[in-house]
Amino acid sequence: MPVLPGAEPFVHDGSDDIGVLLCHGFTGTPQSMRDWGEHLAADGITVRCPRLPGHGTDWRDLNRTGWADWYAAVDRELAELSGRCRSVFAFGLSMGGTLTLRLAQNHPELSGIVLVNPSVTTLRRDAFLLPALSRVVPSIAGVAGDIAKPGAVEVGYDRTPLRAAASLQRLWRLVRGDLGRVRQPVLLMRSATDHVVEPVNSRIVLDGIRSGDVTEVVLRDSFHVATLDHDAPSVFAGSVEFVHRIHRERVEEPA
């Protein structure tokens, strides 16, 4: 199946000091993270942003995958970065934030994480029907493109594959149950207005993690896909400041 234009993985080999793994969201692609990756690369940081299995082709492909496939993809990239960089971070948008949290839970050696509108649950009243509904209904209307900035476009599916969504729901339960295992430094950025991920998601994360270094930033001028929205420059700059601070502290370098 051909890859959608713009959905290709992003790779940059920078210094061996700092490596960043970028994790895109459910039904999205690396396109939503590319500007962020390019900003990091311009700072000399080594970057990996894989295209998650089932994404960036046809929504039916996503229904043939599950959370274990998506997690395995980012876990492999993390291992590659860890083999070459002194400090390694994971950044995630939406479901990419879910995967980032799972990486932090399973890899205490991870230097830190950055979350943008992470998802760990939904308040939709019909969510309890998803496991059964996904067996008979292939998809519903998509959620891609929740952006306030005029002219900004997210490359993603216009349908939400329900079998894959049911798998994401199972991942949410695992991640919520293990939030106490997240002890790395955390920078969480959430949009004040988000039509995809409700505010309770960030509150659950912040209340559940056991990190001693936590920063929460509210993005006032962006919707869900903040990495393509008005606040993107602040997201990018804040993440660079975060990784450099943590790296200095880890290697005991003077500021």
Among the ranges given (112-121, 129-138, 182-191, 231-240), the one the predictor scored with the smallest mean pLDDT: 129-138
Kindly name the residue from 24, 39, 55, 224 that is annotated as catalytic.
224
Annotated catalytic residue within 43, 146, 194, 231: 194
pLDDT in tens, 220-249: 999 999 999 999 999 999 999 999 999 999
135 vs 234 pLDDT, higher one = 234
Burial letters 98-123, b for 16+ CB under 10 A, else e: bbbbbbbbebeebbbbbbbbbbbbbe
> What is this structure's pTM?
0.95
pLDDT in tens, 197-214: 999 999 999 999 999 999
Q: Is 75 a catalytic residue?
A: no
Tokens describing residue 135: 């067996």
194 is catalytic: yes
Instruction: Look up 229 and say whether it is catalytic.
Output: no
Q: How confident is the model at residue 253 (pLDDT cuts 50, 70, 90)?
A: low
Q: What is the DSSP string of 196-217?
A: SS-THHHHHHHHH---SSEEEE
Residue pLDDT, tens place only, 50-87: 999 999 999 999 999 999 999 999 999 999 999 999 99
Say what the pLDDT of residue 122 is: 93
Please state, as a whole number, how many other Cβ atoms lie within 10 Å of the Cβ of residue 80: 14
